[in-house]
Amino acid sequence: MNQVGSVGLIASLAFAAYALVAGAVGGKLRSPRITRSAERAAWGFFLMITLAVVALEYMILTNDFHNAYVAEHSNRDLLTYYKVAALWAGQEGSLLFWTWLLSIYSALVVWQNRRKNRQLMPYVVSVLMGVGTFFSLLVFFVANPFQELSLISSAGTRAFSAPDGSGLNPLLQYHSMVIHPPMLYLGYVGMVVPFAFAMAALITRQLGDNWIRTTRRWTMVPWMLLGCGILLGGNWAYAVLGWGGYWGWDPVENASLLPWLSGTAFLHSVMIQEKRGMLKIWNVSLVILTFFLSIFGTFLTRSGIVSSVHAFAQSNIGPFFAVFLAIILFFSVTLLFLRLDHLKSENKLDSMVSRESGFLFNNWILLALVFAVFWGTLFPVISKAVENTTVTVGAPFFNKVAIPMGLLLLLLTGAGPLLAWRKTSFQSLKRNFTLPIVVALVAGAVMFAEGVRDLYAWMTLFLSVFVIVCIVGEFWKGARTRMRTAKENLALALYNLTMRNTRRYGGYIVHIGIVLLFIGFAGQAFKTDAKGLMQEGDLLTVKNYMLRCDGLVSGDNPNYEYTRALITVTRNDQAFTSMHPEKRFYKASQQPTSYVAIHPTLSEDVYVLLAGLDPDTGKAIIQVFINPLVMWVWIGGVVTLLGTLLALVPSRVEREMAEMRQAQELAVQAGDGY
Amino acid sequence: MSDKQNNPNSGIRCPISQVGFARHSSLLTRHDYFWFVVLAATLFAASVAHADSARKPTLEAIGNEVQCTCGCNAPLNQCPMLNCAEKAEMRAFITKEIADGKDETTILQDVSIRFGVQALSSPPAKGFTLAVWILPGVGLLVGLGMVVVLVRRWRSKPDIVPVPSFASRDPKVLTAVEEEMKSTGMK
């Protein structure tokens, strides 16, 4: 099967290289035949990479330890779904997985655009396959997952099969880690598509509405998936790493946040181009930046230039990525400068107090946040290079810098949608903002009276109330109009209102999701914890909770040995729950890890960790955290996901417009011979 | 500055220069922009400084500001290594510093002297490392200022005839869209 996989890789490289050239030639010569050939080669790329992935998964699932990658990342007693996840557990497999996802996206783009965007498609395919060529080269020549184990002896070198593998890293043996990397990669890889369309639009000078409409949807999907991936990673960190938090501003975490932030900026500013024909250069720049940051994030995770608990082992692929990043930057920025004349704004800004200005401020704050996170993440490397001094830039720095910017963004989340296009009058401001400000002030006063004294937490909750009232007001105003004009009840009015403009109201639901996330973040200010040595019968108190240790039990299964603490929890002297944190020792990899016990509620999580056994007394070292409002982080993520899905559903007006556009494009193609 | 702008009876008066301004149709004046930037800068600086305000040091608080030197890449309070010798040594050092009555800033300085500057979770705000603190804030403020300047420049440009949209070519579609917008309250 190693040979099958290698054949798949070589063939995929050939198809990608052919499609890269054929796409460019087909576009230059305006040849539909060559363009179709390039598109078929993109399908060939997909099929061959799929063959390679199937070969590797087959070897993992059948415990074929001739293969070095399988021997390093799997073992016989690993559960099946973890074996599937072993595909992306290591450097080589995850790069293959990245390439496979790229091939899927490429095939989808080719299929979806088989009858439209025909002038753009040659160059879209060429750019997609250019990226595919790079990754295929990297996988085959530098990080090949189809290396065989070999035994070197005095008799020579011969193939070798290990009796069992080293197993999956215990930290990765958790359910959200099975889907976190695929979601993250779908996000990273997906950003190639809007970049490809942007480059094609620049090359062909087709810089009107069409490319921006296509690019917006193709950005929203990976943006949504990247956001899911980020939250799933936070969920994993919360449940597995055992420090009671879900975001530590680790360099690899930051690397995933950067393209998500710039993608958010693009999804907002693109509305200005669609409505007013403005910010064209800005939007193209954002698409380039988002793709650059996606590749940069991949580079950061794998190059070893920064230390991270999430990073792959240091390897030699860093320089290849650095060269690729330089090529992307040079090619895209040069093309942008050559097409500046075609990107002039069609309108002017009329007022500082307008939706356009609101989006501009939103964009700038998002980019300032991107810069702050980027700068802080890379500063240790820069400091080492400039001063030969090793410094750490950790969570305290990022919290101090990012939280104020985040609060400004939260304010704009509520205020922005209530501003009118072009100019907002003072009367309109008074009408739209009086109620939200009054309600928020009342809520703020109540929170202060209830003891909320942390400035950031208070501002977060104050602004959250403000934003929610703004958004609910928007739904109410629209529904009320329908109830009057169409004589519908409230539920039907809300439904029809939303479905007639899914972009707008889906976007409002996304904003609600973001607000819920911020509410969850605010809970970190009220975290409490306690630690103690416990044996059977011992008690530990934290806040209004009492933990009683009912003993320790030990056991094992084929995968690991474990020590489990039996903890009974009472709250306000009432029975609450029982919790069983574990300390595990994984046999194949010879590594220990903790299995945290979490009891979540809407108001707070009880989080209990068995840190280990005290060597002197043999007692269990129990650490308990009370984490307020964490549940709202996960709920906020789900609401954001649902809002995005809704925003992707075309409303009736959009569908009619799309049909008209397609009909006209078909007519044009018939004239061009496509 | 025009006579209209310099009208002391307009009702809008700069608190510093006492120059009065007529209320423009755009609602905001140059002095509004200036005070907005000053306010934004003050709020930003205050919020960054908020976390640094004087507070009684605790082992917990300082443990969040210091990195464990065992190589775990985690803050001292979050070091996952059981029986970590470096963690125990650092906690003992910090406990003694607190018992000696030192404030948080002094304790962090002593930690960086004893264990190296990389033991601090945030780099000190001096020398080259001052750049890590200043540049994000400067970038934010300069950018906001640039947005203000760009808006003013765009507003001073002559009107540009907008490119007709695709939808406006077909009267039937335009009528349908108009009726749709009225029924949803968008118009």
User: CA of B34: how far to CAs of B65, B144, B156, in Å?
Assistant: 36, 11, 19
Q: Of B122, B140, B165, which closes a domain?
A: B122
Classify residue B175: in a domain, yes or no.
yes
Q: Of B99, B122, B145, which closes a domain?
A: B122
Chain A nearest C-alpha distance from B18 (Å)? 24
**Residue of A279, A53, A20, A301 lying closest to A133 (CA atoms):** A20
| Residue spans per domain, chain A | 1-167, 526-631
Question: Which of A396, A407, A661 is the closest to B64 by Cβ?
Answer: A396
Mean pLDDT value of segment A193-198: 95
Residues B19, B36 share a domain: yes
Question: Which of A309, A350, A389 is the closest to B73 by Cβ?
Answer: A309
Residue B167: is its pLDDT beyond 50?
no
Residues B90, B35 share a domain: no
Classify residue B83: in a domain, yes or no.
yes
List, as one string, the DSSP characters of A37-57.
HHHHHHHHHHHHHHHHHHHHH
Residue B80: is its pLDDT beyond 80?
no
By CA distance, what is B23's nearest residue in A?
A426
Q: Of B98, B122, B146, which closes a domain?
A: B122
Q: Is B38 on the interface with A (CB under 8 A)?
A: no
Chain B nearest C-alpha distance from A144 (Å)? 29
Confidence at B144, pLDDT banded by 50, 70, 90: confident
Percent of chain B whose predicted confidence (pLDDT) is above 70: 56
Residues B109, B70 share a domain: yes
AA letter at B57: P
Classify residue B3: in a domain, yes or no.
no
Q: Given an 8 Å threshold on Cβ–Cβ distance, is B121 in contact with A395?
A: yes
CA dist B111 and A532 (Å) reads 27
Q: How far apart are the first and last CA of chain B?
A: 39
Residues of A in contact with B118 (CB under 8 A): 390-392
What's the pLDDT at B78?
78
Mean pLDDT value of segment B1-17: 46
Per-residue pLDDT tens over the stretch A426-442: 888 888 888 999 999 99
Per-residue pLDDT tens over the stretch A283-325: 999 999 999 999 998 888 777 777 665 655 556 788 899 999 9
Residue A229: is its pLDDT beyond 70?
yes
* Cβ proximity of A312 and A145 under 8 Å: no
Per-residue pLDDT tens over the stretch A328-378: 999 999 999 999 888 877 777 777 788 888 888 899 999 999 999 999 999
Classify residue B111: in a domain, yes or no.
yes
Classify residue B159: in a domain, yes or no.
yes
Q: Given an 8 Å threshold on Cβ–Cβ distance, is A656 in contact with B176?
A: yes
Per-residue pLDDT tens over the stretch A509-564: 999 999 999 999 999 989 998 989 998 999 999 999 999 999 999 998 888 889 99
Supply the pTM of this predicted model.
0.86
Q: Is B176 on the interface with A (CB under 8 A)?
A: yes
Q: What is the ipTM of this complex?
A: 0.76
Averaged confidence pLDDT in chain B = 71
For chain B, what is the domain count? 2
Mutate to test the interface with A, among B52, B60, B68, B73 (most CBs of A within 10 A): B73
Per-residue pLDDT tens over the stretch A629-653: 999 999 999 999 999 999 999 887 6
What's the pLDDT at A513?
96
Q: Which residues pair with A585 in a beta bridge?
A: A561, A592
Domain of residue B46 covers: 12-51+131-183
- Is B183 or B64 the better-scoring residue by pLDDT? B64
Residues B65, B84 share a domain: yes
List, as one string, the DSSP characters of B15-59.
TTT--EE---TTS--HHHHHHHHHHHHHHHHHHHHHTTS-----H
Residues B136, B114 share a domain: no
Rounded to 10°, the helix B30-50/A395-415 angle is 140
Mean pLDDT value of segment B48-77: 75
Classify residue B7: in a domain, yes or no.
no
What's the pLDDT at B110?
93
Q: Given an 8 Å threshold on Cβ–Cβ distance, is A368 in contact with B140?
A: yes
Determine how many CB atoms are found less than 10 A away from the CB of residue A189: 27
Per-residue pLDDT tens over the stretch A561-587: 899 999 999 999 899 999 999 988 888
| Lookup: tokens for A412 | 């704009």
Classify residue B32: in a domain, yes or no.
yes
Residues of A in contact with B143 (CB under 8 A): 364, 367-368
